[in-house]
């Protein structure tokens, strides 16, 4: 007597991230078609989804699936498409499975929407030879239209198409990613262990629940790793800054990050602000003036006479417009990195001082002392640096001094004197 064929369902998908609709669909297929098990098959490198911007890495997608299906004994993770060195095509995967398991009937699960694209898939007839197709019925897809399509494909491709009746949950991975980015809750849409993993690894820009409360000023700065692509910012900057300025920029970024570690500031904000603080520096002065006028960036008289100083304000403007930074703390730190101002935020001070002490600097006096002080006492260091700067500017015979620098000096001098008692 011929042995009974095994019946295995296959849930393919990018799973970026996996959500409850995938799980319910898999479970429904298992029940409705009396399957022995359902394989979850994360797509390795799907041709239509290459370079998924802001998506999870392959490893992360696999780990999310692993966590989501843990605890369901008839769900199983299948990594067949992950090892593929080139594109993974469904027909190839299914044919390989079929060849390796001749005792198994495969049921490939697709959404009703995908069915209307089915003929555009690579080798749809070969997919149908290797597996039966389970079509998840959706409310918004007209039933008659679906029947017609299934019949048409059966005749054309020679396969078997079956309806899979499942609850209509209008959830998509894209929606989940968007909601996370917009800081909307996705609780219960994604299984708890997956959600914890997303938060832990800051996937899709999700903020960790960890908050730093230590540090000067007891500022609460949430860690936001993952929101900015530092490498991309750096690559873009390289097109606008000369070699020396890039070297200085990297020095400021690392120094700012080090100070952020000491004072409990967001490392990412410190790095982004450090990277972008001089992004407008290499624009010719005339053009700086023109750009400020065109974009209604207010200028003081001093700035008009000394347009090099405008690179700070203009830098903040470009950081927002060209580099997609909308974090006001980062933009402020860029704005005030040259002149300083009274009552600066933790990040403002970190960027101002990192700019002054980064390893490539060698002109300022008392650098060894100032460098050490920066890691010990930010306000005292602000005072000392502003004092030296004003002295240097007045001796150097420059065209006056920016008022904001004087105000900043007054502010930090007061703190210095109060402390002295
Ligand atoms: Fe600068
Ligand atoms: Fe600088």
Distance from residue 226's CA to the centre of ligand 1 (Å):
26
Q: How far is the CA of 207 from the centre of ligand 1 (A)?
A: 30
Banded pLDDT at 166 (limits 50, 70, 90): confident
* 138/256 same-domain check: no
CA of 205 to the centre of ligand 2 (A): 28
Measured distance CA(133)–CA(94) in Å, rounded: 12
Whole-model pTM: value is 0.50
> How many A from CA of 256 to the centre of ligand 2?
12
| Distance of CA 353 from the midpoint of ligand 2 (Å) | 10
150 lies in the same domain as 225: no
- Strand partners of residue 105: 7
Verify that 188 and 245 share a domain, yes or no.
Answer: no
Q: Which ligand is nearest to the CA of 336?
A: 1
* Ligand (nearest to CA of 311): 1
313 CA to centre of ligand 1 in angstroms: 10
Q: Cα(224) to centroid of ligand 2, in Å?
A: 24
Which has the minimum average pLDDT: 41-45, 147-151, 173-177? 41-45
Ligand nearest to the CA of 358: 2
8 A C-beta contact, residue 29 and residue 75: no
Q: What is the pLDDT of residues 173-223, one digit of tens each?
A: 999 999 999 999 999 999 998 998 898 888 998 875 433 333 332 222 233
Per residue in 210-223, is it b (16+ CB within 10 Å) or e — as a string? Answer: eebeebeeebebeb
Residue 8 has pLDDT above 60, yes or no: yes
Return the CATH number at 20.
3.40.50.620
In contact, 245 and 282? CB cutoff 8 Å: yes
Q: Is residue 1 part of a domain?
A: no
Residues 261 and 184 in one domain: no
Instruction: Report d(CA 11, CA 166) in Å as an integer.
Output: 14
Q: Could you say which ligand is closest to the alpha carbon of residue 339?
A: 1
Out of 132-141, 166-175, 356-365, give the one with best mean pLDDT: 356-365
**What pLDDT, on a 0 to 100 scale, did the predictor assign at position 47?**
53
Structural domain boundaries enclosing 333: 207-420
Distance between Cα 215 and ligand 2 center (Å): 25
Model confidence pLDDT, tens digit, residues 70-81: 989 999 999 888
Measured in residues, the chain has a length of 421
Same domain, yes or no: 394 and 286: yes
Residues 186 and 215 occupy one common structural domain? no
The Å distance, Cα 261 to ligand 1 centre, comes to: 22
Determine the distance separating the centroid of ligand 1 and the alpha carbon of 219, expressed in angstroms.
Answer: 25
Rounded to the nearest whole angstrom, what is the distance from the C-alpha of residue 273 to the centroid of ligand 1? 11
Domain stop point among 130, 165, 198: 198
247 and 192 co-located in one domain: no
Query: 277 and 251 in contact (C-beta within 8 Å)?
Result: no
In this structure, the answer to whether residues 261 and 175 fall within a common structural domain is no
Which residues, including other chains, have CB under 8 Å from residue 288's CB and lie 6 or more apart? 280, 307, 308, 310, 311, 314
Ligand with an atom nearest the CA of residue 252: 2
| pLDDT band with cut points at 50, 70 and 90 for residue 396 | low
Residues of the chain with pLDDT > 90: what percent? 63
| pLDDT for position 2 | 58
Residue 171 lies in a domain: yes
- Between 186 and 58, name the one with better pLDDT: 186
**Domains: count for the chain:** 2
Final residue in a domain of this structure, among 153, 176, 198: 198
The ligand whose atoms approach the alpha carbon of 275 most closely is: 2
The CATH number covering residue 370 comes to 1.10.3210.10
């Amino acid at each position: 007597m011929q042995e009974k064929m095994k019946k295995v369902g296959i849930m393919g998908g990018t799973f970026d991230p996996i959500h409850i609709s995938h799980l319910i669909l898999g479970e429904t297929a298992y029940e409705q078609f009396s399957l022995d098990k359902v394989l979850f098959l994360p797509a390795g490198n799907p041709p239509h989804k290459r370079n998924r911007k802001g998506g999870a890495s392959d490893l992360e997608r696999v780990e999310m699936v692993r966590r989501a299906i843990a605890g369901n004994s008839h769900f199983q993770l299948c990594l067949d498409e992950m090892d593929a060195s080139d594109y993974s095509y469904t027909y190839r995967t299914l044919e390989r499975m079929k060849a390796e398991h001749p005792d198994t009937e495969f049921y490939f699960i697709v959404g009703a929407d995908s069915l209307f694209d089915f003929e555009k898939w690579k080798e749809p007839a070969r997919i149908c030879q290797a597996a039966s197709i389970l079509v998840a019925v959706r409310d918004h897809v007209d039933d008659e239209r679906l029947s017609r399509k299934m019949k048409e494909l059966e005749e054309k491709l020679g396969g078997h198409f079956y309806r899979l009746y499942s609850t209509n949950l209008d959830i998509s991975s894209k929606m989940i990613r968007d909601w996370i980015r917009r800081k909307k809750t996705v609780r219960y849409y994604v299984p708890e262990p997956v959600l914890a993993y997303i938060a832990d690894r800051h996937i899709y820009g999700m903020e960790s629940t960890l908050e730093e409360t230590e540090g000067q000023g007891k500022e609460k700065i949430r860690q936001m790793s993952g929101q900015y692509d530092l490498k991309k910012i750096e690559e873009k900057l390289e097109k606008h800054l000369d070699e020396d300025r890039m070297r200085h920029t990297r020095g400021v970024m690392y120094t700012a990050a080090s100070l952020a570690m000491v004072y409990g500031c967001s490392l990412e904000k410190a790095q982004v602000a450090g990277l972008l603080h001089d992004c407008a520096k290499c624009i010719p002065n005339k053009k700086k003036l023109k750009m400020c006028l065109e974009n209604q960036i207010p200028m003081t008289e001093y700035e008009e006479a000394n347009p090099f100083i405008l690179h700070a304000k203009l830098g903040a403007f470009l950081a927002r417009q060209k580099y997609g930074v909308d974090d006001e703390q980062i933009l402020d730190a860029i704005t005030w990195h040259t002149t300083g101002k009274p009552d600066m935020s933790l990040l403002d001070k970190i960027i101002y001082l990192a700019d002054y002490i980064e390893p490539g600097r060698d002109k300022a006096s008392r650098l060894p002392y100032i460098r050490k002080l920066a890691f010990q006492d930010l306000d005292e260091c602000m005072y000392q640096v502003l004092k030296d700067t004003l002295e240097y500017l007045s001796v150097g015979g420059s065209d006056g001094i920016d008022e904001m620098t004087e105000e900043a000096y007054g502010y930090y001098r007061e703190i210095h004197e109060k402390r002295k008692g």
